[in-house]
Amino acid sequence: MSEDKVVSLGAKKNKSKNKKQEEQNQELVYCSFCGRPNTQVIKMIEGPGVNICSECTMIALQYFVLEDRIPCSEAQQILKAFWGKAR
C-alpha cells in the first residue's frame, strides 16, 4: 500500500488517486520551519500557506511536553494520530 508523503490538511480522503494528485505529491514541498524538502523527511503536513515536517512536529511536541503546556497523555494521542497515518 502506497502512502502519500505530503498530507494536505484541506484535502478530502479519496482512495482512488488520479494522475493530477499523483503529480502534485511528487512535487517538492518544503518545511516552513527547517527548510527541508518532502524528499528528506518522513512526512510533510501541508497547511494553508505553511508546511511542517515530521521532525519539526516532534520538536514542537517535545517542547510543549517539557514546558508542561500539554499533558503527556494528550501528547501521546497526537503522536498516535500523526505516526499512525505515516505508516
**21 compared with 51, residue with greater pLDDT:** 51
Alpha helix (H) residue ranges in the chain: 19-26, 54-66, 72-86
**pLDDT band at 50; cut points 50, 70, 90:** very high
Rounded distance between C-alpha atoms, residue 36 and residue 20, angstroms: 24
Q: What is the pLDDT of residues 7-39, one digit of tens each?
A: 776 655 555 555 555 555 568 999 999 999 999
pTM value > 0.85: no
Note the pLDDT of residue 30: 96
- Report the run of H or E that residue 46 belongs to, with start and end: strand 44-47
Reading the block at residue 86, the C-alpha cell is 505515516
What share of the chain has pLDDT > 70, as a percent?
Answer: 67
